[in-house]
Amino acid sequence: MEFFSTRGQGPVNLDEALVRGIAGDGGLFMPTPMPAFSVSDFDEAQSLQAVAQTLLAPFFGGSSLEADLGRIVEETFSFPIPLTDLPSETGTARLLELYHGPTAAFKDVGARFLSACMKRLEGDEASPLTILVATSGDTGGAVAAAFDQQPGMRVVVLFPDGRVSERQAHQLSCWSDNVLSLCVDGSFDECQAMVKAALADEDLSAHYRFSSANSINIGRLLPQSTYYAYASLQHFRETGRKPSFIIPTGNLGNALACIMAREMGLPIESVILATNANRTIPDYFETLEWLPRASLQTLASAMDVGNPSNMERLRSFLGEADVLRTRLGVRSVPDDEIEEDIAIDYKDFDFAVCPHTATATRTWRELDVALREGEDWILVATAHPAKFETVVEPLINDEVPLPPELNAILSRPKRAISIPATQEAMAAEMETRFAGSGEQH
């Protein structure tokens, strides 16, 4: 399998695409050509792990990791991803629960996959690889957990000060000395720009051997496509109908993984993107102009993205907005609707959802009746509501129990360094941690 940059550079194999994270011309790696499957290709693949093995095998062709694919799959998908039926008076709806991993968010899948691959490719204690990750909430915690205490691996997490929940902030900054947590005086977009600038800085990148764990790394998208393949196959086998998906999206990685699965031939009907009040994607579909802007702070903080990186992949893959809006739906869900739906979901489903998941349930409720009844819907639940207890609990007038995994993380002491939103400040802290005494100050 060959991978090309969205800006033309390439080809490279999977190993190089994973380690480099971003192409030398600043573009994002995409597999070319995309593998093609039929449903019958998965006849012998009944479990999530077996579906992953079948789906990912073509991408590992020619990789030094090819013989390790089975073990990588086992390490990645070591927790359940259930598909739960939802009570509905109109149409069929199910919930894809992606929050049962170590940090209670869907990002655990991609982070564990990257860790399983990287430690086999780059676990060199004499010359460590440094993983850079900008996060609007959950990515950094998942990556830090996956790489914590991994020999030959270092992680730098950048997160926006005051724009993540308290529990998210804790899980971003409670790890061992190989994880440097930086609380940035700025937005997620500024954190992401710092990561991209560092990756593009040849001297700095050579010194620290940078790679990325954001969804700009193709290694995040490949395993995420797996759970869409598995869920769609499970529903199709049970009902004979292709399911449609509604996916909360910020940086577009999770949604793009579903779109990739559909384009590879998996039985997926419609795909609708649910955004929060950050309207960059909905406005693009409406006006046909791509106009990134500063992100707005919302209750669905992990989706507070004003310049989604994976739009470059999506446009390269499928086309511009005039094409995209014929292939995808999109709806923006502001905070007041998120709050309303958290309360409604608790009443209707008898369990709480996080603010991000509420953008999907609200989008589903607002569908035309004919569309709701005419297709089978899978709503994607991206994080455990206990991570957002200050938002959720007052709305449901009840306590959200902590899952054991999250409780274990919150029992660890936290430590983070506050810095301005500059690459120079980030580089200085890396020098102190990784080339100096190794202690925080």
What percent of the chain is predicted at pLDDT more than 90?
A: 86
CATH of the domain at 146: 3.40.50.1100
**Is residue 34 one of the residues assigned to a domain?**
no
pLDDT digits (tens, 9 = 90+) for 195-223: 989 988 889 988 999 988 878 899 999 99
Number of structural domains (the chain) is 1
Closest CA to 113 of 200, 162, 52, 44: 52
- Euclidean distance between CA atoms 40 and 104, whole angstroms: 33
- Output the six-digit token pair for 57: 């095998």
pLDDT per residue of the chain (441 residues) written in tens, 0 to 9:
999 999 999 899 999 999 988 898 989 999 999 999 999 999 999 999 999 999 999 999 999 999 999 999 999 999 999 999 999 888 899 999 999 999 999 999 999 999 999 999 987 778 899 999 998 777 889 999 999 999 999 999 999 999 888 888 999 999 999 999 999 999 988 998 999 899 888 899 889 999 888 788 999 999 999 999 999 999 999 999 999 999 999 999 999 999 999 999 999 999 999 999 999 999 999 999 999 999 999 999 889 999 999 999 999 999 999 999 999 999 999 999 999 999 999 999 999 999 999 999 999 999 999 999 999 999 999 999 999 999 999 999 999 999 998 999 999 999 999 999 999 999 999 999 997 433 333
**Is residue 295 one of the residues assigned to a domain?**
yes
pLDDT attached to residue 441? 31
Q: For residue 11, say if its preceding peptide bond is cis, omega within 30 degrees of 0.
A: yes
Residues 6+ apart with CB under 8 A from 193: none
**Is residue 270 one of the residues assigned to a domain?**
yes
**Is residue 71 one of the residues assigned to a domain?**
no
Q: Which helix (H) or strand (E) holds 174?
A: none
DSSP 425-436: HHHHHHIIIIIS
**Is residue 50 one of the residues assigned to a domain?**
no
Closest CA to 219 of 46, 67, 13, 394: 13
Beta bridge pairs of residue 246: 272, 379
Q: What DSSP designation does 380 have?
A: E
Q: Beta strands 271-275 and 243-248: pairing type?
A: parallel
Residues 6+ apart with CB under 8 A from 117: 18, 65, 72, 219
Domain that holds residue 84: 80-441
**Is residue 390 one of the residues assigned to a domain?**
yes
Distances in Å between the Cα of 389 and the Cα atoms of 134, 262, 349, 384 are: 23, 34, 18, 10
**Is residue 67 one of the residues assigned to a domain?**
no
**Is residue 231 one of the residues assigned to a domain?**
yes
Closest CA to 76 of 18, 20, 115: 115
- The sign of the dihedral angle between the CA atoms of 96, 101, 103, 109 is negative
Report the predicted TM-score, pTM, of the whole model to 2 decimal places.
Answer: 0.91
- The sign of the dihedral angle between the CA atoms of 159, 162, 165, 171 is positive
